[in-house]
Structure 1
């Protein structure tokens, strides 16, 4: 099934020549524009700047630099670019680490052609929805038409996750009134703005989400706090719930789950 609408530009980064050839042919056959294929981790950011892909299919274990380092760099400098992370690693925690680092999708090798296309379609659909929401949020703010929307603060140290959530929340009728990159900023935003909802990343610098949560609840007791995490840990969930969190959403973020969760939260 070919992708509908605008052709998505894809950069492939994998040290295996056969994998680069297979992905290039498969994606081209489905209507993606493969703008480049690199064999090592050196020069990826320069290629992103030059080729302007919307998606990077990024291998983990590369000559030169590993994929996690490159993922962090892309998210920091190009949060609008989605990264589909690919690996043959058997590390138990790698999928959680990748999700927490802001990857839009994850594939563990070996994978089938159907798995690649399904994951890419999910990435594309998520980003399209987020872009629509970001456009609507900007227009509503300019027109001062957000007065009746539930207010929300996003706290996550990853710029790509913040951009994605901002768009999805706006698409769902929420007004994003502030964004924070660490726990201290989240506490200040909650105290000043008293938002109805606050989405709080578990792992952040300076002050973690779990450290910030009781301060947020103290300054803004009516705010419903939802944790954002790359790993569903029973211990972390129990701790967050005990501190007053209303639940959690898991990275990589999927619109259908977020929509269902928010509707349930606002209806409670």
Structure 2
């Protein structure tokens, strides 16, 4: 079972996403609402994947993604960015980053996460992937 951490500043989204993903076979081992919590949880619980909201209130999900990848050695979680905003708003930033990809919050599902991770594994160039609800 895929071990997942969800990072979002909305308690409602954290609860809803956890319920949804757990009902679809994803083990949500941690939730966090800010960078400090996320780094502690990732270090302690070693999730395989972290869903990180791009807009964490006063903090940047992109900055957190970089820190998770650099500061949680030896095996950092694979990062999937999530947002309420349209994927086109972040396409360039996602492409330039080293995250696994992006899933719109409206398209979040266990299948979307698994499909995105498979696509990333199959991409020989290591490009980030944007998942759509049809994925």
Does the TM-score normalized on the shorter chain lie above 0.5?
yes
| Offset at residue 64 of structure 1 (A) | 5.0
Higher Rg: 1
1:15 match: secondary structure: coil
Aligned with 2:48 (options 40, 54, 57)? 54
Measured in 2, the distance between the counterparts of 1:54 and 1:126 equals 16
Aligned with 1:103 (options 96, 99, 102)? 99
Q: Which residue of 1 aligns with 2:11?
A: 17
| Offset at residue 55 of structure 1 (A) | 0.5
Moved over 4 A (4+): 90-93
Measured in 1, the distance between the counterparts of 2:116 and 2:59 equals 24
TM-score by length of 1: 0.42
Measured in 1, the distance between the counterparts of 2:60 and 2:47 equals 20
| Offset at residue 23 of structure 1 (A) | 1.0
Gaps of 5+ in 2: 131-135
2:127 equivalent to 1:251: yes
| Offset at residue 90 of structure 1 (A) | 5.5
Q: CA RMSD in A?
A: 2.8
Q: Deviations over 1:138-194 (max 9, x none)?
A: xxxxxxxxxxxxxxxxxxxxxxxxxxx7xx5xxxxxxxxxxxxxxxxxxxxxxxxxx
2:86 equivalent to 1:87: no
Mean CA deviation greater in 90-99 or 54-63:
90-99
The structure-2 alpha-carbon separation of the partners of 1:124 and 1:108, relative to structure 1 and needing over 3 Å to count, comes to closer
The structure-2 alpha-carbon separation of the partners of 1:42 and 1:64, relative to structure 1 and needing over 3 Å to count, comes to farther
| Offset at residue 99 of structure 1 (A) | 2.9
- Which structure has more relative contact order (CA 8 Å, sep 6+)? It is 2
Aligned residues: 128
2:6 equivalent to 1:39: no
1:70 match: secondary structure: helix
Q: Which residue of 2 aligns with 1:152?
A: none
The structure-2 alpha-carbon separation of the partners of 1:120 and 1:90, relative to structure 1 and needing over 3 Å to count, comes to closer
The structure-2 alpha-carbon separation of the partners of 1:77 and 1:118, relative to structure 1 and needing over 3 Å to count, comes to same
